């Protein structure tokens, strides 16, 4: 944002040092107030309030959050029936949880400030599965429901939850990011980006198939870009949009020695590639770990979860991720099959509570990073304005000094003029008096020099 140039006083009310100190103090207070306002704006209560049914501020660009992953990001939390423990209807209507999801009539609430779009690749085309205001509909939910409610709560801008993913995809093969290289393990060579097949033992064994490493990455990112390129079609009345963050939940298919061992490296490259491809180098990135069997997760699954936690910015392992990458441990959100609709552990037993809890953790982690981002922007804006004020004060002081010098020169010239006039009238005593004043009042000036020369002539 470009601020208006501050008004410049013709003469500062004090010496330059005082002006600069006062300016710094003003903008330090500004930065503190801005940060405090941001923190208040992004404060999230434990229980979200009901949506206020108000549209977003459409004068601002749409904030796009891109959700990627595999089947659990796609969404397999059961919505109903109400009688089945572990469904969303059971949680909301029988246990009274997540009251912001139900209105006074018992219907699902609708956020008019958050749009939910879900797309996926189908053969050679993009299929649009959802394109409506955020609400609960259909048979299943994913983490987007609670995540979207949190983003709608903390942001005044229009929000688009853009989910671009499909199930049964691994980071080590289908979602492998650009630039990933081949590697060898146990006598097999594993594919780098755009290689096919996924692995081979010799060149003779390397027979391409109808898929390549990173194909799903390419499809999912291309589809997300298509939606953003036609933002008005997906968010009514929107003209501009920008990537505000990335959300990732994936890992089930990487539970093998080759992919689990490379998961951390692939994930780092994945984060960097997304930011580059969407021209969003500092966009916050949040991810949830896999959490099958909760704290009982073991083997290659535990390797994947540890790799996911390792990239989190607060670990310090990747300094460039500090404050902009956050991993949340989803293992505490596991619910056993006895309190869930099914025993399909790979889909978290279809328990809607797990999907809501993961979405909640992801949303709060994203909000925390957005708060830090906003605070940093406010402080940077304060510093920039302080520098502008400082420069303006210095310019004003220079102008004041220039005006003083011009006034002095004018007074000096008036004395010299009076002295010359007295000389012309042969009133030499008066002339010498004017010359002496010029020497005394304007020492070191050209007027003083001329006056001294004139006094020498009158000796």
C-alpha to C-alpha distances, 217 to 36, 144, 393, 439, nearest whole angstrom: 39, 20, 53, 83
Torsion over CA of 316, 320, 326 and 329, rounded to 10 degrees?
-40
Question: What pTM value is reported for the model?
Answer: 0.76
Distance from C-alpha of 212 to C-alpha of 197, rounded to nearest angstrom: 6
Which is it for the CA torsion 68, 72, 75, 79, positive or negative? negative
Question: What are 30-56's pLDDT values in tens digits?
Answer: 334 444 434 434 579 999 999 988 999
Question: What are 91-105's pLDDT values in tens digits?
Answer: 999 999 999 999 999
Question: What are 304-343's pLDDT values in tens digits?
Answer: 999 999 999 999 999 999 999 999 999 999 999 999 999 9
Which is it for the CA torsion 82, 83, 87, 93, positive or negative? positive
Strand partners for 117: 131, 162
Per-residue pLDDT band at 10 (split at 50, 70, 90): very low
Per-residue pLDDT band at 168 (split at 50, 70, 90): very high
Question: What are 237-274's pLDDT values in tens digits?
Answer: 999 999 999 999 999 999 999 999 999 999 999 999 99
Q: Is 125 helix (H, G, I), strand (E, B) or coil?
A: strand
Distance from C-alpha of 164 to C-alpha of 170, rounded to nearest angstrom: 15
Indicate whether 281 pLDDT > 60. Answer: yes
Indicate whether 7 pLDDT > 50. Answer: no
- Give the model's pLDDT for residue 426: 83
Distance from C-alpha of 39 to C-alpha of 30, rounded to nearest angstrom: 14
Structure tokens at 127: 């299929």
Q: Is 230 helix (H, G, I), strand (E, B) or coil?
A: coil
Structure tokens at 314: 């607060």
Contact (CB, 8 A) for 38 and 375: yes
Q: List, in order, residues 6 or more apart from 406 with CB less than 8 Å away.
A: none
Q: Beta strands 285-288 and 62-69: pairing type?
A: unpaired
- Give the model's pLDDT for residue 263: 98
Per-residue pLDDT band at 381 (split at 50, 70, 90): low
For residues 449 and 242, the model is more confident at 242
For residues 192 and 451, the model is more confident at 192
């Amino acid at each position: 944002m470009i601020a208006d140039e501050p008004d410049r006083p013709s003469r500062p009310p004090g010496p330059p040092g005082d002006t600069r100190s006062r300016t710094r103090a003003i903008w330090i207070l500004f930065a503190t107030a801005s940060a405090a306002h941001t923190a208040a704006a992004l404060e999230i209560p434990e229980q979200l309030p009901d949506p206020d049914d108000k549209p977003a501020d459409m004068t601002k660009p749409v904030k796009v959050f891109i959700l990627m992953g595999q089947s659990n990001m796609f969404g397999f939390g059961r919505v109903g029936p109400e009688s089945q423990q572990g469904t969303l209807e059971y949680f909301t209507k029988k246990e009274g949880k997540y009251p912001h999801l139900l209105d006074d009539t018992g219907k699902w609430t609708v956020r008019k400030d958050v749009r939910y779009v879900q797309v996926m690749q189908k053969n050679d085309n993009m299929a649009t599965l959802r394109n409506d205001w955020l609400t609960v509909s259909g048979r299943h939910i994913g983490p987007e429901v609670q995540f979207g409610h949190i983003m709608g709560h903390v942001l005044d801008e229009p929000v688009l939850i853009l989910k671009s993913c499909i199930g049964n995809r691994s980071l080590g093969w289908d979602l492998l990011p650009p630039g990933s290289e081949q590697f060898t393990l146990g006598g097999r060579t594993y594919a780098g980006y755009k290689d096919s097949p996924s692995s081979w033992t010799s060149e003779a064994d390397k027979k391409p198939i109808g898929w390549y490493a990173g194909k799903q990455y390419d499809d999912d990112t291309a589809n997300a870009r298509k939606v953003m390129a036609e933002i008005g079609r997906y968010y009514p009345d929107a003209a501009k949009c920008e990537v505000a963050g990335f959300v990732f939940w994936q890992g089930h298919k990487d539970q093998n020695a080759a992919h689990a061992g490379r998961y951390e490296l692939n994930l780092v490259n994945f984060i960097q590639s997304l930011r580059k491809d969407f021209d969003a180098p500092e966009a916050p990135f949040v991810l949830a770990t896999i959490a099958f069997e909760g704290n009982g997760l073991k083997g290659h699954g535990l390797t994947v979860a540890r790799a996911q936690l390792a990239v989190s910015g607060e670990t310090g392992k990747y300094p460039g991720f500090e404050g902009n990458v956050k991993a949340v441990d989803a293992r505490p959100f596991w619910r056993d099959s006895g309190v869930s609709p099914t025993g399909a552990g790979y889909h978290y037993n279809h328990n809607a509570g797990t999907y809501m809890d993961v979405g909640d953790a992801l949303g709060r982690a994203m909000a925390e990073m957005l708060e830090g981002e906003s605070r940093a922007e406010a402080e940077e804006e304060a510093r920039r304005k302080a520098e502008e004020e400082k420069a303006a004060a210095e310019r004003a002081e220079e102008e004041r000094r220039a005006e003083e010098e011009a006034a002095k020169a004018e007074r000096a010239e008036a004395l010299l003029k009076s002295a010359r006039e007295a000389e012309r009238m042969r009133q030499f005593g008066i002339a010498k008096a004017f010359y002496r004043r010029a020497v005394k009042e304007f020492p070191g000036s050209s007027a003083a020099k001329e006056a001294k020369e004139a006094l020498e002539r009158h000796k």
